[in-house]
Amino acid sequence: MGSVLRRRVAAAARRVPPGGRPGRFTLIELLVVIAIIAILAAMLLPALSKAREKARTISCLNNQKQSSLGLLMYCDDNRERYPQGDAVAWGDGGWPSGLHGGYVDRIWRYVNSQAVFLCPTDETRNNLTHGNGEGHTFGSDYLEGTYPDQPFSYAYNYDLYSRTNSALKYPSQTCLVAESSERPYVYRVIVSANAFLDPDHVRMAGGCRHSNGQNIGFLDGHAMWVRREQLRPIYTY
């Protein structure tokens, strides 16, 4: 009898840790832990999401900076003249044997990176494909993919074509490259009567991917994030 009792006491001692509590969570304890985890996740996930978008915005800003510098170097090497960047320059009606590639192929030697032309927040990247779907023939020798499905996120201010730096009065306020959708260029036709970027136009609105704003590269080489309602005062030439 004594040996049986001793065995039972020993078995019970093995099941109970030194603190005297059973080594298992009760259902209520598990539910409390789950609730705490859920609360912490609800608090942290929005902050993590904002942090990720901030990182994407910075990456996009660097893209605009590199593109702007590439265009300025092209300009320096070509008697202060900026490249052509309209539909014809992208290959409209002449792809693939005629002129194509827009400003991208002109500045590739200075940039040499496909990632520079892709905004990490842009899910459509349709600046070429949308136009091709409407009958244009936009293409590049250097962008990702193959014609007619080449992803592209940005737009060049082609009103600068044939202009010289010395003739431009407001370089720090003049758009060189912008974010947009549906077309790889910006120009006077899609801006307001005062020749400023039009935040209400579908192409410019589609480019406001970062907290209701977009990154713009300027003629003096700097790039910055601009809130959508602040687009209008920016010169396009």
SS (H, E, C) 158-189: HHHECCEHHHCCCHHHEEEEEECCCCCEECHH
Mean pLDDT calculated for residue range 120-136? 95
Q: What are phi and psi of 36, to 5 degrees?
A: -65, -45
Of 83, 77, 211, 91, the closest CA to residue 152 belongs to 91
Q: Is the pLDDT of residue 6 over 70?
A: no
- The rounded distance, in Å, linking the Cα atoms of 189 and 237 is 12
- pLDDT at position 5 is 45
- List all residues 6 or more positions away from 190 whose beta carbon is below 8 Å from its beta carbon: 198, 201, 203, 204
The answer to whether the pTM exceeds 0.95 is no
Residue type at position 205:
A
d(CA 154, CA 177): 7
Summary mean pLDDT of the chain: 86
- Give pLDDT tens digits for 20-46: 555 576 878 888 888 888 888 877 777
pLDDT tens across 204-231, in order?
Answer: 999 999 999 999 999 999 999 999 988 8
What amino acid is encoded at 82 in this protein?
Y
pLDDT at residue 145 tops 90? yes
Residue-wise pLDDT for 75-105, tens only, equals 999 999 999 999 999 999 888 888 999 999 9
Q: What's the rounded Cα separation, in Å, for the pair 75 and 82?
A: 5
